[in-house]
Structure 1
Amino acid sequence: MNNIFEKFTTELEEEYQTRQNIKTITQQIDSVERKLTLYIQNYHQQQPQSQDKPNYQQLLKELEPIKEHFGQLKTLIKPIHYYKYRDHWKQHLSQIVFCLTFSNWIDNKTLLKIDEIQTLLNLDKPGAGQLSIELEDYLLGLCNLSNEMSRYCVNCVIRQDYDTPLKISLFVSDLFSGFRLLNLKNDIIRKRYDSMKYDLKRIEEVVYDISVRNLHNNTSTSNNNNTSTTNTENKMVE
């Protein structure tokens, strides 16, 4: 009997040490993730004439330390114990997905796919207990993206950028339509998906106001007038 419980003691101590090591690594991941989140805030605060604009490539540089931290987790956790410890880092993955998809859309106007993010983080494809971005992590990240797009849309108008809200409206509308194709039975994703309806409604209200006031057309007209004036001045100089 004593031998049996001595073995239990050893196993409990090993599990405790593993959890402590995981906690240390996830704290490091959390530190980098908070930097990424603060970096995303710069998109909202940037001024139209700012020389220091945030961009996707710079965000990828900020992401570099996380690759090493996830590599440490992969070597530390046996595949058989993957789901036992996954709760320690899954929330961080959703937030990282959000930061990457938001920054990429602002610069490239495209949606990063789950496979592309796996590659960026040097993670494995889901399955067989490998450290990876699960579908739930990705979808929750996209829900966060919708929330942030709603906020960014309003801030664009404040900066007198009337073109971007129209693009945001089309993108979030497509994103929402994609979610509607899913037969969601996951309570967390279902609740977050429901909030996307309000994000889209808010964005559509902003676009409606822009359209009613003809601000988008005025911007285009103003740009055309400026171009015409410049051409006229050049001819006069000639």
Structure 2
Amino acid sequence: MSKEIDSTVEVMQSYLRERFISPEVLEKAKHRVDKLKDFYSRLAKIHQDFPKYYYKYHDIWSSERRKTVSALAFLHWLETKNLLMHEEVEMKLRLDIKIGDYLEGICLMSRELPRYVENQVNAGDYDCSRMMNFLKELNEAFQEVDETQFDCIRDDLGRVERISFDAKHRSSQMV
């Protein structure tokens, strides 16, 4: 089942990495969420039926859970421009997600944001302020956790700030 989850998340992420994310592309990505729910409900059934074995192999699915959180959080951000909260992930998947997997999934999601901003700038949208504000707030929240493993968000914020500076410079030269 691990391979099926990973494959479904990869397909979902491939839609979300397209250069132009249209409503149709978002729908294709959202369609994958139903498949993920099915896989995770099967995992929940295993947990219910065989709790001893579920926890024995629980860490095998850790990477998939993080990737799933990342994809769901990015899809949610594209739709709402807000962070997908831990409880919302659990409700979407109908599965308990460790807070560590959630936090690491959000860090993975932040890695997608500079690429998204680059695509937006290349498409002519030079306003990066909303993304920068989101990453600043996310970075501040993760600094409260005081974990150096979450420095990736700070790095992603720096990348978006450089892209924003270049975009403003480029747009001012066009005028």
Tell whether the structures are fold-level matches, with TM greater than 0.5: yes
Please give the TM-score of this superposition, normalised by the length of structure 1: 0.65
Match of 1:194 among 146, 151, 154: 151
Match of 1:64 among 34, 45, 61: 34
Amino acid paired to 1:92 = E
Deviation (angstroms), 1:210 = 3.2
Find the counterpart in structure 2 of residue 76 from structure 1.
46
Please give the TM-score of this superposition, normalised by the length of structure 2: 0.86
Find the counterpart in structure 1 of residue 112 from structure 2.
148
Find the counterpart in structure 1 of residue 17 from structure 2.
41
SS of 1:61's partner is helix
Amino acid paired to 1:155 = N
| 1:183-234 CA distance string (max 9 Å, x none) | 33xxxxx33x12222211111112223334555xx7xxxxxxxxxxxxxxxx
**Aligned partners of 2:104, 2:132: CA distance in 1, in Å?**
20
**Aligned partners of 1:159, 1:166: CA distance in 2, in Å?**
16
Amino acid paired to 2:39 = H
In the alignment, structure 2 segments of 5+ residues that lack a partner are none
| 1:116-142 CA distance string (max 9 Å, x none) | 11111111xxxxxxxx21111111111
**Aligned partners of 1:212, 1:35: CA distance in 2, in Å?**
35
**Aligned partners of 2:125, 2:171: CA distance in 1, in Å?**
13
In the alignment, structure 1 segments of 5+ residues that lack a partner are 1-24, 124-131, 185-189, 219-238
2:83 counterpart of 1:119: no
**Aligned partners of 2:17, 2:170: CA distance in 1, in Å?**
28
User: In angstroms, what is the RMSD of aligned CA positions?
Assistant: 2.2
Match of 2:161 among 188, 197, 204: 204
**Aligned partners of 1:26, 1:88: CA distance in 2, in Å?**
8
Amino acid paired to 1:41 = R
Find the counterpart in structure 2 of residue 171 from structure 1.
134
| 1:59-96 CA distance string (max 9 Å, x none) | 23211122222222222233344432112211111111
2:69 counterpart of 1:97: yes
Identity, % of aligned positions? 29
Instruction: Kindly tell me the number of residue pairs found equivalent between the two proteins.
Output: 172
